[in-house]
Chain A
Amino acid sequence: MIDDDPALITVISTALQAENYQIITAADGRTGLNLAQTEKPDFILLDQVLPDIQGNEVLATLKQNEDTKNIPVVLFSNFYKPELMQQAINQGAVDYLLKYQIEPKDLLTKIKSLTQESKAEQAQEQ
């Protein structure tokens, strides 16, 4: 989870940990990029408004890197701007979710479904 909002990280981490997910967090884009490369997570939740670089820039870098380009990324933000949302989808984000609209249980359902899809694709490629 790449997000500089410690309160939301606490809530989402609690929800995911209750379902036995392991969470790695980064409070800024550059740390997130480094962790994505070293930890190779199954899924990335990415905020748009970060202290150093914009979420869409982080996304573009993830998709350009051989090690991270296949990790499903969902933009998860309170920043509603249709152009940015479309740009994220065009750059390969799986979805752009608005934090104030989605319930934790629905987010969990989405994450489960996306990680299962991703694992199935990887198994097919192998």
Chain B
Amino acid sequence: MVQLLTITTLLFGFLAIIFSFLLDKEKHKQQEKQDVNLFMIHELRSPLSSIKAAASLLLSDTGQIELEKKNDLLKLINSQSLQLLEYVSLLLDTSRLQSGIFNLQRKPNDIKALVEERIRLLQPLAHEKQIELKSDIKEPVPSFRFDKEYIAHALDNLLYNALKFTPVKGHIDVTVELDNQFVTINVQDSGEGLDQEQIAMLFKKFSQVGPKTANSSGLGLYFVKSIIEAHKGTVNVTSSDDTGTTFSFSLPFSNANG
């Protein structure tokens, strides 16, 4: 009888521990979701506040602001509007991430063509800073299965970051390497290097590292990591003051279904 009581007590104790663990996990998940939402609201408000303040200042000016400063404010409204569009796009992607559903559409795609397409689209931004942005893909890479929209998004994110952190007249090189099992895309910039502590923080949620002159979202790299890992791939970063920073992601080279 005593033994039965002991076993029952132990069993209930064990179940209580499991239940407590699951409850904590759910609370943590809900807190994470809330944190992401708070952060994104803050990130959206930043460009909106600048746009609103700049427009208000221009409308209320009675001749005290110089013409050159007025033009600066108009340019600011334009650039902050673009930033806002970028954040809204990120917000939509984050909501997909939170739902746990990436719904990858893995089809045979040409990675070389995709890289060249994304570079072409970002050339005007590179041109503004006189940055040389180019791809160097010597060997042809056969088509393989990946979600073109999501990988384009991941690549855009890395290229936008490289453009933000590369100084005027710098360079950004994109290479693609193929070994037996993986295709690796490298985005190397000529900006300031990152130290090991910064590298460790990079892919964590809300982390913002790098030069303080660059205003970057802390969610972008976290999202890149999530996309690549959903493809069963990996991300990597190396950096030094001499060579700048290289972000790489590797995707399984597979034409198998699924």
What is the interface of chain A, defined by CB distance below 8 A to chain B?
A: 4-8, 10-12, 14-15, 18-19, 27-28, 49, 51, 78-79, 81, 99-100, 103-105
Contact = CB atoms under 8 A, between A and B. Distances in A.
A7 B76 contact: yes
B215 A14 contact: no
A4 B212 contact: yes
Q: Chain B interface: which size bin?
A: 20 to 34
Given A4-B212, A8-B46, A51-B208, A103 B56 contact: yes
A50 B248 CA distance: 28
* 10 pairs of A and B residues whose beta carbons are closest in the complex: A78-B45, A7-B50, A99-B49, A27-B212, A18-B64, A11-B53, A100-B49, A100-B45, A8-B50, A11-B54
Contact of A78 (B46, B69, B208): B46
A8 B49 contact: yes
Interface string B18-59: 000000000000000000001000100111111011101100
A5 to B, nearest CB: 6
Contacts of A19: 64
B6 interface: no
B37 to A, nearest CB: 12
A10 B72 contact: yes
A103 B49 CA distance: 9
Contact of B80 (A7, A12, A103): A7
B46 A5 contact: yes
Interface of B: 38, 42, 45-50, 52-54, 56-57, 60-61, 64-65, 69, 72-73, 76, 79-80, 208, 212-213, 215
B47 A7 contact: yes
Given A14-B57, A14-B69, A6 B49 contact: no
A11 B212 CA distance: 18
Contact of A6 (B45, B57, B64, B213): B213
A15 B65 CA distance: 8
Nearest to B211: A27
Given A7-B80, A104-B56, A99 B208 contact: no
A28 B56 CA distance: 27
Contacts of B49: 8, 78, 99-100
Contact of B53 (A18, A79, A99): A99
B57 A5 contact: no
Nearest to A105: B60
30 contacts: A4-B212, A4-B215, A5-B50, A5-B215, A7-B46, A7-B79, A7-B215, A8-B46, A10-B50, A10-B73, A10-B76, A11-B50, A11-B76, A14-B69, A14-B72, A18-B64, A18-B65, A18-B69, A19-B64, A27-B212, A28-B212, A49-B42, A51-B208, A81-B38, A99-B46, A100-B45, A100-B49, A103-B60, A104-B57, A105-B60
Contacts of A99: 45-46, 49, 53
A27 B54 CA distance: 20
Given A49-B42, A81-B38, 17 more contacts: A4-B215, A5-B46, A6-B215, A7-B76, A8-B50, A8-B53, A10-B54, A10-B73, A11-B54, A12-B53, A14-B69, A27-B213, A28-B212, A78-B46, A99-B49, A100-B49, A104-B53
